[in-house]
Amino acid sequence: MAVRSLWAGIILVVLITVAHYATPPDAMRIHDVLTRLYYVPIVFVGARCGRKAGTGIAVLVALAFFPHLFTHLGGDPLEKNLNRSFEIVLWIVVGYLTGYYSDRERATREAAEASALAAREAARGLLEAQAQLRQADRLATLGLLSANLAHEVRNPLASLKGIADLLRAEFPAGHARKELIDILDQEVQRLDGVVGNYLESARPARDDGRAGLREVVEGVRALLDAEARKRGVRISAEVSPPDIVLPLAKDLLRQLLVNFVLNSLEAVGHGGTVWMRASRTQTGTDLVVDDDGPGFPRELEGQEPRPFFTTRSHGTGLGLPIARGIVESHGGRLRLENRPEGGARVVVSFPQEPKP
C-alpha cells in the first residue's frame, strides 16, 4: 500500500512538472496554481508513507521545480524569486512534518492495537481459566458421585454375594438351581467391577500395570462382534507394530475401548463401520477409535470430554469423562475430533516412555 502511494505521488509530481514546463512563461497565474499543486503529492505521500518518504518526495519536487526558476521565471532565486525559493524550503518542511505526525499517529495506532490484542488475549485467558474452574468443579462433583455410588452399591452387592454363597451350599453340583446361583455370583462380581471402575474417577490412582495393545484390541473386537453384527456394523482393528504396550492395566484399557466402541456402535447406522487403530508416532503412541456416524457436536469438537454432557436421551455424560480421568492419571491425553471424511474420532495419546 505504501509503495503504491509513493508511486502515485511520483507520477503526480511528474505530471505537474511537465505542465509547468509546458506552460508559457507569461502565464503566471497558471504557474502559481501549478506551484501550489505540488503540496498535494507532498502531503499525500507524507501522510501515507511516513517521514522519510514525505521528505523524499518534497526533495524530488524541489529538484524538479528549481530549474523552472531559470527557464520560465527569470532566474535569480534569492531576489526576484525569493518567495518561490522560500516555498521550496516550505515544501521540504511540510513533507517532513506531515510524515513525522503520520508516523506518530501510526505508532500510536499500532500501540493501541497491540494493547487491544493483549487485552483480548488476557480476556481469552480469563475465560479459559473460568472454563477450567468449571471443569474442575464438574470433575469434583463426578468424583463425589462416584464415591457415593461405590459406597451405596457395594454394600448390597456384598450382601447378595453372601446370599449366593449360602444358597450354593444347599444344592449339589450339576443342579439347575446351582447353575443359576453361579450366574448370579458372576453378575454380582461384574457389577462390583463396574462400581470399582467408576470409583477410579474419584480416586484416579496410578497403577504399574502394562497392557499389550494388540491382545486387548482383538479381545474387544471379539467381545463386541455379536452386538455389532446385530446392528449391521463392521468393526475393524489394526495395531502396527503389533508389540505396542501401554502403561496401564489390561482391565482399564479394555474398559476404555469398550466404552469408545459402544458409543460408536450407537452412533453409526446400519452398514456403518467402526475402526480401532493404534500406531507409534514421533512423540509416543496414539490409540484411535473412528466411526462413520454423524460425528461430535460442534461444541465438543476438539475439546476434552465434559461431565454430564451427552447428546443421547438415555446417556449420563459420564463415560468419556471417566475415560479421560483414567487416561490422564496414567500420563496420557484424550481428545475428541471429527474425521475429515465424516464421523467421530476419539484419540488417546501416550507420550513415549524413556528408555531404561
Phi, psi of 289 (to 5 degrees): -120, 115
Sign of CA dihedral 54, 55, 60, 66: positive
* Residue 72 backbone class (left: φ over 0; alpha: ψ -120 to 50; beta: rest): alpha
pLDDT given for residue 314 in this prediction? 47
- 8 and 97 both lie in a single domain: yes
pLDDT given for residue 288 in this prediction? 92
Q: Which residues of 102-113 are buried (b: 16+ CB within 10 A; e: fewer)?
A: bbeeeeeeeeee
**Mean pLDDT computed over 196-201:** 60
- 218 and 283 both lie in a single domain: yes
Instruction: Report whether pLDDT(9) > 50.
Output: yes
Phi, psi of 277 (to 5 degrees): -130, 145
pLDDT given for residue 163 in this prediction? 79
Nearest by Cα to 202 from 145, 135, 132: 145
Average pLDDT of the chain? Answer: 78
Q: Give a yes or no: residue 121 inside a domain.
A: no
Q: Give a yes or no: residue 119 inside a domain.
A: no
- 179 and 153 both lie in a single domain: yes
Instruction: Report whether pLDDT(201) > 70.
Output: no
Q: What is the separation of C-alpha 88 from the centre of its chain, rounded to a whole number of angstroms?
A: 57
Cell 473460568: give the residue.
130
- Measure the CA–CA gap between 168 and 165, rounded to whole angstroms: 5
**Mean pLDDT computed over 277-284:** 86
pLDDT given for residue 317 in this prediction? 53
Nearest by Cα to 68 from 87, 45, 93: 87
Q: Give a yes or no: residue 256 inside a domain.
A: yes
The domain tally of the chain equals 3
**Mean pLDDT computed over 3-31:** 84
**Mean pLDDT computed over 138-152:** 65
- 334 and 231 both lie in a single domain: yes
For the chain, the helix, strand and coil percentages under 3-state DSSP, each to the nearest 5: 65, 10, 25
Nearest by Cα to 87 from 26, 39, 135, 45: 39
Instruction: Report whether pLDDT(306) > 60.
Output: no
- Measure the CA–CA gap between 86 and 54, rounded to whole angstroms: 18
- 194 and 294 both lie in a single domain: no
pLDDT given for residue 140 in this prediction? 65
Give the residue, 310 or 18, on which the prediction is more confident: 18
Q: Long-range CB contacts (< 8 A, 24+ apart) of 311-315?
A: 312/266
Q: What is the pLDDT of residues 328-346, one digit of tens each?
A: 888 888 888 888 888 889 9
What is the secondary structure of 67-108 as a DSSP string? HHHHHTS-S-TTTTTHHHHHHHHHHHHHHHHHHHHHHHHHHH
- 140 and 249 both lie in a single domain: no
Spatial strand order of the sheet with 284-291 comes to 234-240, 273-280, 284-291, 344-351, 333-338
- Provide the domain limits for residue 237: 211-351
Last residue of a domain, one of 74, 109, 144: 109
- 265 and 183 both lie in a single domain: no
CATH value at residue 152: 1.10.287
Last residue of a domain, one of 202, 234, 249: 202
